[in-house]
Amino acid sequence: MRRLLALALILPLCGCNGAPLSTQWKLRSFNLNTADLSQLRVALRAPAWARLTPERTVIVARYWLGDDEARGSSVALKLRRAARTEDAAALSQLGGAPSPVVYELAPQSLGPAHALQLEALRLKAQGTTHGRIHIDGAVACRTGEIPPGPISVDAFVHADNETGWLPLYEQHNVRGDMKDAEEDARLAQLIPACVEKRAP
């Protein structure tokens, strides 16, 4: 599920395969280095046994010039659960139930994210740049054992207020090509058991 969230965040800037052509077309001019990141949001709909946890999710973004990754700039950005009233109505028009959980950058992450955007633009002016985004922390936890079979997740992206909410993936199988017990054990680590808070 980490990989799916990372794809959902990266897709607007690379036009990756997998999303509907209409979504790729509407995002063709999106530039992560100049975008207003306060408007960037991703929504996920997971199986009933998975509890999505935006507040435990961290994006680690890194940029560097040429082949000198060691001297690159990186930043860890915390996410949070968005609670914008306009999102629920817009996402309901895209279909499906229940309502997806919306991820966005936490307020304290907007400043560091903007600083990284400026650094990326500075490096790009000097030559060929490279970047990498990965997800730390737990995108979701599980209320029980992970059942066999496909793990289907829906994903949507809100790149900016002009394009609004767009579908990215429908019934994407997070389990993918995992076929053996070792890979299933790794999946269980990526989606840890939920820890219930006990009443004092």
Q: Tell me which H or E stretch contains 53.
A: none
Place 11 in a pLDDT band, splitting at 50, 70 and 90: very low
State residue 6's pLDDT score: 52
| C-alpha distance from residue 112 to each of 20, 36, 108, 116, 120 (Å) | 32, 13, 8, 6, 12
- Which of 91, 82, 76 shows the shortest CA–CA distance to 40? 82
* Lowest mean pLDDT, pick from 23-37, 42-56, 170-184: 170-184
Instruction: Yes or no: say if 32 and 119 are a contact pair by the CB < 8 Å rule.
Output: no
DSSP assignment letter at 147: P
Buried b (16+ CB within 10 A) or exposed e, 80-105: bebeeeebeeebeeeeeeeebbbbbb
Q: Which ranges of 62-164 would DSSP assign to H, the alpha helix?
A: 85-92, 107-124
Sequence ranges of the domains in the chain? 2-190
pLDDT in tens, 34-57: 889 999 999 989 899 999 999 998
Instruction: Yes or no: say if 19 and 11 are a contact pair by the CB < 8 Å rule.
Output: yes
Q: Which residue has the tokens 């990989």?
A: 3
173 has a pLDDT exceeding 70 = yes
* Lowest mean pLDDT, pick from 12-16, 60-64, 163-167, 181-185: 12-16
State residue 10's pLDDT score: 45
Q: Which amino acid is at 180?
A: D
Q: Write down the pTM of the prediction.
A: 0.82
Contacts of 118 (CB under 8 A, 6+ apart): none
* Lowest mean pLDDT, pick from 3-7, 113-117, 135-139: 3-7
pLDDT in tens, 84-101: 889 988 998 888 777 899
pLDDT in tens, 99-122: 899 999 999 999 999 998 888 888
